[in-house]
Amino acid sequence: MTSSDRSSAPDRVPSPEDTSCCGGCGPTRRTFLERGALIGAAGVAAVGLSGCTDAIRNEQNAPSHHVGGTPTRAIETAELPVGNSASVQLRGRILLIHRSAEQTVHAYSAVCTHQGCTVGLGERQGEPTFACPCHGSHFDVTTGVPYGGPARKPLTEFTAAVDGDWITVTL
Ligand code: FES
């Protein structure tokens, strides 16, 4: 497991579409975990909910999508190998990024759609997941759809792309 910079960033970062936020915005920072890694309580929650049903996943509609206009460098491609996820703080937002193929990446707001806690990286049954430490919701890393917890809405999706040496997110 490789991880870096688990700093004391606020639990919630305000943004125009994340109205439940109450924290301030800190300086730009990145966190990165290889696939299979757990983050503290999020990891504990992931393990504790391993028996939850996946039925909720199938009930969800397509994720809501952030409408932005500027592709912004989020993380270098070398820092995010295929199959890995990262939590990146970018322009006042915490974004969850997953690279599912060489040229395919997915990005989501880390604001939990249940009650606004910050969703982190986790693992469930050997697969990467986005996990909320507050009440145990998990989100699919390639769709943002919740499963195994109280959240019912998908994480807000951002347009992401592999652009040479960088993964960009349209903000
Ligand atoms: S705030 Fe995330 S599960 Fe409740």
Give residue ranges with CB within 6 A of ligand 1: 112, 114-117, 132, 134-137, 149-151
Q: In this structure, which amino acid lies at residue 159?
A: T
Q: What is the reported pLDDT for 38?
A: 34
Q: What is the reported pLDDT for 51?
A: 34
Mutate to test the pocket of ligand 1, among 20, 113, 115, 152 (most ligand atoms within 8 A of CB): 115
Query: Does residue 71 or residue 49 have the better pLDDT?
Result: 71
Mean pLDDT of all residues in 56-71: 65
CATH class of segment(s) 35-170: mainly beta
Give the whole-angstrom CA distance, residue 64 versus residue 46. 24
Three-state secondary structure of the chain: CCEECCCCCCCCCCECCECCCCCCCCCCCEEEECCCCCCHHHHHHHHHCCCCCCHHHHHCCCCCECCCCCEEEEEEHHHCCCCCEEEEEECCEEEEEEEEECCEEEEEECECCCCCCECEEEEECCEEEEECCCCCCEECCCCCCEECCCCCCCCCEECEEEECCEEEEEC
pTM: 0.68
pLDDT over threshold 60, residue 32: no
pLDDT over threshold 60, residue 163: yes
Nearest residue (CA) to ligand 1, atom 3: 135
Give the whole-angstrom CA distance, residue 111 versus residue 54. 21
Enumerate the domain spans of the chain. Answer: 35-170
Query: Which tokens in the block code for residue 76?
Result: 């270098």
Q: What ligand 1 atom has the least distance to the C-alpha of 132?
A: 2
pLDDT in tens, 82-134: 999 999 999 999 999 999 999 999 999 999 999 999 999 999 889 999 999 99
